[in-house]
Amino acid sequence: MATLELDSITKTFQDGDEEIVAVDDVSLSIDDGEFLVVVGPSGCGKSTTLRMVAGLETITSGTLSIDNRVVNHVKSQDRDIAMVFQSYALYPHMSVRQNMSFGLEESTDLPDDEINRMVSETGEMLGISDLLDRKPSDLSGGQQQRVALGRAIVRDPEVFLMDEPLSNLDAKLRAEMRTELQRLQNDLGVTTVYVTHDQTEAMTMGDRIAILDGGELQQIASPLKCYHEPANQFVASFLGEPSMNFFDVALDGDRLVGDVFEYPIDDEVRADLGEATDLVLGIRPEAIKLVESKSDAHEFEMTVDVVEPMGDENTVYLHFDPDADPESAETLVATIDGFTRVSEGDSVVARIPQDAIHIFDGLTGEALHNRSMEDAADQVDLA
């Protein structure tokens, strides 16, 4: 087990005359035994970051340390890491047992019976003991993924690096493997960096998540902190499905003035905004409440445009202006209880609670005011 430190790591690629900055001055400290998920949209630099840690890609500038040892120029095989990829990369002509023992045979001088014992133990841990004599082609996708994991685990590395390891599995198996991987990582206590573009994996698996965009680190914190207290508008929009609602607004005294609505704010919220006047108001769909009738200035008469029933919840698309062209009207997306009766064309009143709003700087995207994570956690008591 080990700590991992990325200090101002940058990676550039040369594409003809063009220089591509894939990873831009990223600094991260990963604790011993921590499960860190690196997440972001396609092309944000996740895999390149992981590949530099693995030693599969050179580092253009910055320092990479594993357990306080600088490893920039240490060969991949000497870094004591094990990688699991999206493609399982099993050797097709070898049995499961051979696939799992191969790395140990190559990198250690352990006797065969010791290697066999380790493979059998790991096979048991992963529930694949009865598959050890099969070839990869005779296994399901989920079983192949277990073998790929087993091959990494059996080496007992200091660090696990995982690049979208579950994305070839169907939704149900992915959910099962998510839980299993967390349990395994917890039991083994091996420092793990896990790359994904899937925000559900990021939210559910990591002790912390690091969110990248355009090669730059946007935020690193616990999943709930990133969700409730996003550092900027990018993080706020990336986490959460449906995405947070955003409205361009201007600050006028104690009101946020949008194209089709005004939203009063109290002094406490106002104090967070400093000198900025071009702002973005954000509200998560699940924070919006539909109420009987309008009774305060944080409630708005709206028209239901579309209702998407999801079973336990409905996703409702609302318009501020009943006469507006649906194509161009400002839309508010709300997630409400699945048993609430609303239909297309209904007039409803939507409350945007002030204790749940976020406000971002309209120019930089930086979060100026967030709902507090503690308040968010206090909203619901157990029955």
| Among the residue ranges 25-33, 40-48, 114-122, 304-312, the one whose residues contact ligand ATP (CB under 6 A) | 40-48
Based on CB atoms, which residue is closest to ligand ATP, 44 or 181? 44
Among 2, 48, 144, 350, binds ligand ATP (CB under 6 A): 48
Q: Does 43 bind ligand ATP (CB under 6 A)?
A: yes
Give the per-residue SS3 of the chain: CCCEEEEEEEEEEEECCEEEEEEEEEEEEECCCCEEEEECCCCCCHHHHHHHHHCCCCCCEEEEEECCEECCCCCHHHCCEEEECCCCCCCCCCCHHHHHHHHHHHHCCCCHHHHHHHHHHHHHHCCCHHHCCCCHHHCCHHHHHHHHHHHHHCCCCCEEEEECCCCCCCHHHHHHHHHHHHHHHHHHCCEEEEEECCHHHHHHHCCEEEEEECCEEEEEECHHHHHHCCCEHHHHHHCCCCCCEEEEEEEECCEEECCCCEEECCHHHHHCCCCCCEEEEEECHHHCEEECCCCCCCEEEEEEEEEEECCCEEEEEEECCCCCCCCCCCEEEEEEECCCCCCCCCEEEEECCHHHCEEEECCCCEEEECCCHHHHHHCCCCC
Output 118 or 193, the one with its CB closest to ligand ATP: 193
Least gap, CB of 196 to ligand ATP (angstroms)? 8
Query: Using the rule CB under 6 A, which residue among 16, 17, 18, 42 binds ligand ATP?
Result: 42
Write each residue from 291 to 320 as x if it is in contact with ligand ATP (CB under 6 A), else as -, in one continuous string.
Answer: ------------------------------
Interaction of residue 15 with ligand ATP, rule CB under 6 A: yes
Stretch that binds ligand ATP, among 46-54, 165-173, 247-255, 281-289 (CB under 6 A): 46-54
- Rule CB under 6 A: choose which of 47, 101, 143, 233 binds ligand ATP: 47
Instruction: Kindly tell me which of 67 and 216 has the beta carbon lying closer to ligand ATP.
Output: 216
Nearest distance from C-beta of residue 159 to ligand ATP, angstroms: 18
Minimum gap (Å) between residue 51 Cβ and ligand ATP = 7
Among 27-35, 39-47, 246-254, 269-277, the segment contacting ligand ATP (CB under 6 A): 39-47
The residues that touch ligand ATP, with contacts defined as CB under 6 A, are 13, 15, 20, 22, 40, 42-48, 197
